[in-house]
């Protein structure tokens, strides 16, 4: 079939053609003459404009839903534009400090407890020896095991070391909190969402250190302020187990071979799931895409309901993929 005919056939069936094909078809039809469609950029007061800053489409795309897909408040007029928007979001996240630059100097736990008179030099030396011989376990655990301190004293010393509060474990409703962030983070990063105060302050508990990278990422993802603090070991582990058992949002885990794979995976998910709202943030080496499929929220916490959101968490197989970016 001659190219022009084929293009004209496609032209009659706009659902099957891409923006590029449409542009080519217009060029083929109008040649050097002025294209009657080209002045009609989708500049409309009623219809949303494409969120891709580099969108080259002059095509109205009347068949495409205007409600979705939406990434970070911006609608994409085509799959190609969605991919460019995803790439821009990933590059922005890659430039975030992440876990680097967040390590401040901290006084060693043993010294904090020594200076507070909780333990003696002798007890500290004993615990450090045991830790060294065993080659495992945290100092606080050894102090508790050797009965030099109790759990509460260790947690209070850790909170001084990390300059954060000791939180109360109750009230805690694992079902309502399950959609705060993926279960993977509860498990791998040791973070437990506890409760939301006044629909704007999310309490997140850790056991023996604060993951500031996770705190910042969750704040940006949910648009809530996060108050991070510690819980004593046994209470933390109990609540963590409850969280891991609660029904949580569907999550897809993926290791992308490279940046292109990551962009494709996120863009495809946004298109396929018809996201009405979505956000990309980075936590350590993971990119986390959350998609809202509806607006329903838990009436007390204001957090999304587990069935209304879906997560995709993606890491990059190529270690240098982020450094190699332009």
Provide the binding-site residues for Zn ion, judged by CB under 5 A. Answer: 50, 52, 55, 57, 77, 81
CA atoms within 13 A of residue 144's CA, in its CB half-sphere: 15
Least CB distance to Zn ion at residue 75 (A): 9
Least CB distance to Zn ion at residue 19 (A): 7
User: Closer to Zn ion at the Cβ: 22 or 213?
Assistant: 22
User: Closer to Zn ion at the Cβ: 77 or 222?
Assistant: 77
User: Closer to Zn ion at the Cβ: 49 or 200?
Assistant: 49
Decide if 213 contacts 102 (C-beta within 8 A). yes
Least CB distance to Zn ion at residue 54 (A): 8
Least CB distance to Zn ion at residue 81 (A): 3
User: Closer to Zn ion at the Cβ: 25 or 214?
Assistant: 25
Least CB distance to Zn ion at residue 48 (A): 11
User: Closer to Zn ion at the Cβ: 51 or 249?
Assistant: 51
- In DSSP terms, 255 is beta-bridged to 315
Least CB distance to Zn ion at residue 57 (A): 5
User: Closer to Zn ion at the Cβ: 80 or 205?
Assistant: 80
């Amino acid at each position: 079939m001659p190219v022009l005919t084929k293009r004209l056939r496609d032209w009659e069936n706009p659902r099957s053609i891409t923006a590029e094909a449409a542009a080519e078809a217009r060029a083929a039809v109008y040649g050097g003459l002025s294209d009657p469609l080209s002045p009609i950029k989708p500049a409309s007061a009623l219809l949303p404009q494409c969120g891709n800053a580099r969108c080259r489409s002059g095509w109205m795309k009347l068949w495409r839903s205007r409600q979705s897909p939406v990434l970070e408040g911006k609608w994409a007029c085509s799959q190609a534009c969605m991919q460019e928007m995803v790439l821009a979001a990933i590059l922005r996240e890659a430039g975030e400090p992440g876990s680097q630059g967040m390590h401040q100097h901290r006084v060693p736990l043993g010294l904090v407890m020594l200076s507070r008179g909780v333990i003696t030099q002798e007890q500290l030396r004993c615990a450090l020896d045991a830790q060294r011989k065993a080659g495992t376990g945290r100092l606080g655990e050894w102090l508790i095991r050797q009965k030099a301190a109790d759990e509460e004293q260790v947690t209070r010393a850790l909170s001084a070391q990390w300059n954060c509060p000791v939180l109360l474990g109750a009230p805690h409703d694992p079902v309502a909190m399950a959609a705060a962030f993926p279960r993977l983070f509860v498990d791998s990063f040791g973070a437990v969402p506890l409760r939301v105060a006044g629909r704007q302050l999310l309490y997140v508990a850790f056991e023996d250190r604060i993951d500031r990278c996770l705190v910042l990422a969750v704040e940006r993802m949910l648009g809530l302020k996060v108050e991070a603090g510690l819980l004593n070991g046994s209470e933390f582990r109990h609540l963590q187990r409850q969280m891991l058992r609660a029904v949580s949002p569907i999550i897809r885990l993926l290791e992308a071979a490279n940046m292109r794979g990551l962009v494709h995976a996120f863009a495809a998910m946004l298109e396929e799931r018809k996201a009405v709202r979505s956000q990309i943030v980075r936590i350590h080496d993971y990119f986390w895409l959350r998609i809202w499929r509806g607006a329903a929220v838990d009436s007390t916490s204001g957090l999304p309901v587990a069935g209304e959101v879906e997560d995709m968490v993606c890491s990059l197989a190529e270690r240098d993929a982020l450094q190699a970016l332009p």
